[in-house]
Chain A
Amino acid sequence: MRGEGLIKTFTFLCAGSSILVVFLIFGYTLSEGLPVLMKYGLSFLTGLHWKPYADPPQFGLLPTIIGTLSVSGLAISIAAPIGILAAIYLAEYSGGGFFKNLIEPATQLLVSIPSVVLGFIGLVFLVPTLAKIFGGWGFSILAGGIVLAAMTLPHIICISSDAIRAVPREYRYASLALGASKWQTVRRVVLPAARSGILASIILGLGNAIGETMAVLMVIGNPEVPYIPTSIFDRVRVLTSTIVIEFNYAVWGSDQMRALFAIGVILFIITAAVNLLAFHILGGRIHAKEI
């Protein structure tokens, strides 16, 4: 019996350590980033100029935030329609056949490709190709969006197809028995019933895209002075890439270093909010099914 108690305590400590790590990281990031956030206030988020080496330095994050949103937004608008249609195929049309057994593992494999490899392929293949087609350097929102779309696609496919499969089979029978075609059944009954799961997959994909660093960093160009992009062919910075690029040069304890931590806080909040939102929607799925 005493052994039981020991094991319970030990496993509890291990489980608790993950919470501890989260709090330590967030606490540390917050303590480093908060002074800058306090000092520059709202202008940190809405300022147009990011000039850490100017005197006095300027920390305006708006162009970077817009860069982040445009790259992630583009990625999702590419990945969501493809992902949902792929999920419909896998869940409704493949019938467990050869292609399903080919596509599902391939999708899983796409997840396991290290992001730096995807970024590298983007750098040596996608960027020059875009440059050839559209002119310019090729480093762009478009390049980042395509690379990120490839990274978020498997998540969208996986969660959406699960959501579609979770729709009770009886609904399909009831619809078919009224003379509806398969596609009518999918469009009018199955997809509406699975909409919360599909929405959650898109939101989670968006969260992934916003937090992703390496792959996107390598193909978006990261201009020295960030500016608000006016087309998808513009180079941009994103929140994550700004941290990676500048922390090598930032002096420890300087406002610049603290500003990078503040970016970390913002990223943390955004991704946490996105994840919470997705889980909230997924949790409501059972009720959503009954309208």
Chain B
Amino acid sequence: MAMQVKKTLLRRALEYKPILKSEKLNVWYGRVHALKDVDVIIPSKRITAIMGPSGCGKSTLLKAFNRLLEVEGARVEGKVYFHDVDIYSDSVDPYTIRRKIGMVFQKPIPLPMSIYDNVAYGLRVNGVKDKRLLDEVVRENLEKVGLWDEVKDRLRDSAFNLSGGQQQRLCIARALAVEPEVILLDEPTSSLDPASTKRIEELLKRLSGDYTIVIVTHNVHQAMRLAERVVFIFEGRIVEQGDAEEIFKNPRSILTKAYIKGDFS
């Protein structure tokens, strides 16, 4: 019991050193108020799961973290701090932010180019031309996601020839190649079969030692398996956030309780 308390306290302590933090974050799509006064804390080098029913704003919150929202024409108010910098302040350019905060989408989106070029893409747009360095980075990151042995003989093949699960791992490798600090994942396994899902989950656990991982999921069990911290959103508002174990054991809100039980999804 004492051990348990200690562990919890340790986790809490870590929360005081958030890598990402939002303050009074509000997002509108046209007239739709998608996020309402969201204050959220994402601890460094942990897996945080953002849970909630579909349409509750969890993907919106994720996209607020790498300023992809403005590309979709959403209006953002409030602050999002990355370390101590407000990423929405005028002096910050979104490209730098997106290099530091990578993203993997719901459907695997390989770019229409070869496997190699997909992984090298992020470096190339950042001006890296050195062939040897590119080779090295491509190999290193494909190894990280466990794809190297499967594709090393066909790096020049189209990325579309890979299976769905392989494509998603390729997308993770591509995101890792620009050396981000945070990886945002938007329901990365929802279009994959159970075996591929398991591989990705194991991969994320392995990566969480080196990267901050934020995963949006509507699958409670996935959140239980992966997350150390949980954020529960409902209708654009944060209902509850905190230590995963604690929330799954003793949810404070009846909404969270009902959602965890599976009363709605």
Residues of A within 8 A of B (CB): 170-181, 184, 188-189, 192-193, 289-291
Residues on B facing A (Cβ under 8 Å): 66, 68, 71, 95-96, 98-99, 102-103, 105, 107, 109, 111-114, 121-122, 124-126, 158, 160, 171, 174-175, 178
Does B175 lie within 8 Å of A178, measured CB to CB?
A: yes
Bound together, the chains give a CA A188 to CA B125 distance in angstroms of: 9
Contacts A176-B71, A179-B178 hold; do A192 and B98 have CB atoms under 8 A apart? no
Closest A residue by C-beta to B99? A179
Contact check, B158 vs A178: say whether CB atoms are below 8 A apart.
no
* Sample of 18 A–B contacts (CB below 8 Å): A170-B105, A170-B107, A171-B109, A173-B109, A174-B109, A175-B111, A177-B105, A177-B175, A178-B122, A179-B96, A179-B98, A179-B99, A188-B124, A192-B112, A193-B112, A289-B112, A290-B112, A291-B158
Consensus secondary structure, chain A interface = helix
Whether B98 lies near A171 (C-beta < 8 A) is no
Chain A residues contacting B175 (CB-CB under 8 Å) are 177-178
Among A174, A176, A180, A193, the most chain B Cβ lie within 10 Å of the Cβ of: A174
Closest B residue to A193 using CB positions: B112
Chain B residues near A180 (CB-CB < 8 A): 95, 121-122, 125
B161 to chain A, nearest CB (A): 9
Distance of B69 from chain A, by nearest CB (Å): 11
How many A-B residue pairs lie within 8 Å, measured between CB atoms? 69
A188 to chain B: which residues have CB within 8 Å?
121, 124-125
Least distance between B108 CB and chain A CB atoms (Å) = 10
CA distance A34 to B79 in the complex (A): 78
List B contacts of A289 (CB < 8 A): 112
Q: Closest CB-CB distance, B113 to chain A, in whole Å?
A: 7
List B contacts of A170 (CB < 8 A): 105, 107, 109
Q: A179-B126, A184-B125 are in contact. Are A189 and B112 (CB under 8 A)?
A: yes
Contact B160 A290 (CB under 8 A): yes
Which residues of the other chain, A, contact B113 by a CB distance below 8 angstroms?
Answer: 192, 291
Cβ contact of B102, chosen from A177, A184, A189, cutoff 8 A: A177
In addition to A178-B99, A180-B122, 6 A-B residue pairs with Cβ atoms within 8 Å of each other are A171-B109, A173-B109, A179-B125, A193-B112, A289-B112, A290-B160
User: Please, how many angstroms separate the alpha-carbon atoms of A179 and B124 in the complex?
Assistant: 10
* Complex-state Cα separation, A184 to B66, whole angstroms: 18
- In the bound complex, residues from chain A placing their C-beta under 8 Å from that of B66 are 177
In the complex formed, the residue of A with least CB distance to B104 is A177
* Residues of B contacting A175 in the complex (Cβ-Cβ under 8 angstroms): 111, 121, 125
Q: Is the CB of A173 within 8 A of B68?
A: yes
Q: In the complex the two chains form, what is the Cα distance from A189 to B111 in whole Å?
A: 7
Chain B residues near A176 (CB-CB < 8 A) = 68, 71, 98
A173 touches B174 (CB 8 A): no
Residues of the A chain whose Cβ atoms lie less than 8 Å from the Cβ of B121: 175, 178, 180, 188
Is there contact, CB below 8 Å, between B111 and A171? yes
**How far, in angstroms, from A128 to B66 measured CA to CA in the complex?**
57
A291 touches B174 (CB 8 A): no
Asked if residues A178 and B68 are in contact (CB atoms below 8 Å), the reply is: no
Which A residues are in CB contact (< 8 Å) with B178?
A: 178-179
Residues of A within 8 A of B98 (CB): 176-179
Query: When A and B form their complex, which 6 residue pairs have the shortest distance between CB atoms, in order from nearest?
Result: A179-B99, A178-B122, A291-B158, A180-B125, A177-B103, A174-B109
Q: Which of B99, B105, B160 contacts A173 (CB 8 A)?
A: B105
Residues of chain A with a CB closer than 8 A to B68's CB: 173, 176-177
Distance between Cα atoms of A172 and B160 in the complex (Å)? 17
CA A289 to CA B98, docked complex, whole Å = 26
Q: How far is the CA of A203 from the CA of B21 in the complex (A)?
A: 53
User: Given the complex, which residues of A lie within 8 Å of B174, measured CB to CB?
Assistant: 178
Q: How far is the CB of A91 from chain B (nearest CB, A)?
A: 15
Closest Cβ of chain B to A53, distance in Å, is 58
Residues of B within 8 A of A184 (CB): 125
- Chain A residues near B112 (CB, 8 Å)? 171, 189, 192-193, 289-291
CA distance A189 to B159 in the complex (A): 14
Query: Once the chains bind, are B71 and A173 in contact (CB under 8 Å)?
Result: yes
Is the CB–CB distance between A174 and B125 below 8 Å?
no
Contacts of A291 in B (CB 8 A): 112-114, 158, 160
